[in-house]
Amino acid sequence: MTQKSKVAAMAAFLVVTLTASRAAHAAPNPCSLLTASQVSSALGVTVADGKSAIPQDCQWSQSNGGVRAKSAFLEILGPMGKLTPVDRFNTAKAPVGKIVKTPVSGLGDDAVFVETMGVGLYVKKGNSVFLVRVSGFPLEDAKAKEKALAQQALAKL
């Protein structure tokens, strides 16, 4: 084998290896983690199939619910600047002013409710982190529904 052939073979090997590695570590499609049926059951209303505005999130909305439509939102956190998804989880979990942050046991490796204008549930499993939010419900109902949806999403993560 000539030197050029060896270099070409090595370059091809590296491209295939890097591509396969990226594919193996690619985040799942967030709309694949929950079905409309699961979300409808958790929310107690019929929702349409999940729609993704950007690749890392998915939203299920109540069909013909109007302005007060109930919905669920799931985002898979990716890196942001130098922060890994786990770094972002740790930031979400850290105390900040008067924002209420409540640890949740028995969900993934770690989980926390973060209350700002509503509530969101951050869940960490290994190096993966996702956020679940529901809207249109009182706070405690929203927490219960977010936890139920997170448990179902974890089964597919």
Q: What is the CATH number of the domain that holds 101?
A: 3.40.1000
Residue 90, domain member (yes or no): yes
Residue 2, domain member (yes or no): no
- DSSP annotation of 33: S
In total, how many domains does the chain have?
Answer: 1
Residue 101, domain member (yes or no): yes
Residue 6, domain member (yes or no): no
Residue 7, domain member (yes or no): no
Residues facing residue 132 across a β-bridge: 74, 121
Strands (E), 21-105: 57-61, 71-76, 100-103
Residue 105, domain member (yes or no): yes
Q: What is the pTM of this model?
A: 0.81
Distance CA 57, CA 130 (A): 9
Residue 123, domain member (yes or no): yes
Does residue 26 register a pLDDT over 80? no
Residue 10, domain member (yes or no): no
pLDDT recorded at residue 117: 86
Which tokens go with 16?
């295939």
Query: 34 CB contacts (<8 Å, ≥6 apart)?
Result: 50, 58, 60, 72, 74, 149, 152, 153
Which tokens go with 31?
């709309």
pLDDT digits (tens, 9 = 90+) for 63-112: 877 778 899 999 999 999 999 999 999 999 999 999 999 999 999 999 99
**Segments forming the whole domain that contains residue 71:** 28-154
- DSSP annotation of 51: B
Does residue 7 register a pLDDT over 50? no
Query: Is the distance from CB of 43 to CB of 145 less than 8 angstroms?
Result: yes
